[in-house]
Amino acid sequence: MNNHLSEDQITEWALGTCDDFVLRHLETCRGCSLEAEELRRALSGFRDALQAVAQRDQSFWRNQQVTFRERASVRDWYPMHWAWLVAMVMVLITAIFLIRTPKTLRNYPSDAADNALLNEIQGDLSREVPQALAPAVLIAEERNAILMNSVGRQSQKVQNKK
């Protein structure tokens, strides 16, 4: 029968979660304590080696801090930048909407007025006499017609007498 600690028990010991039985056994069993000690040495050797590999001089850590500060300040500004961009786009869209929509509404009556004015001008241009003289022309035409009638009647009377 094997009286030594199991692999799990030695692992529990390495993790620091073993029970009193394991600790008592390690005090008395040379084989298991050697095994546990070797594991402990390997783990602490790894820890020391990694700590040594990760050692850097002061300038390295100072540079890290400086780089962090630079990048963090850029990133602080970065969301602000996007906020500004979004705000500008919104203003632009609103401006386009405001400029374009009322213009069509305002253009509607102004176009009609323009058309009316153009028609008026066209009428004026096609007129043979200025509008101010139109009544005088009308009177003159009526007068001419009356004269023509009276002349016609007189000439008819002359012919009848003959």
In three-state secondary structure terms, 16 is: coil
Least distance (Å) between residue 87 CB and another protein:
21
Give the residue from 44, 20, 30, 160 showing the smallest Cα distance to 152.
160
What x/- string results for residues 35 through 74 when contact with another protein is judged by CB under 8 A?
Answer: ---xx-xxx-xxxxxxxxxx-x----x--xx-xxx-xxx-
Minimum CB distance to another protein smaller for 46 or for 82: 46
Nearer to another protein, 17 or 159 (CB): 17
**Dihedral angle sign, alpha carbons of residues 123, 129, 133, 136:** negative
Q: What's the angle, vertex CA 89, arms to CA 83 and CA 92, rounded to 5? A: 140
Where along the sequence are the contacts to another protein (CB under 8 A)? 7-8, 10-11, 14-15, 17, 38-39, 41-43, 45-54, 56, 61, 64-65, 67-69, 71-73, 75-76
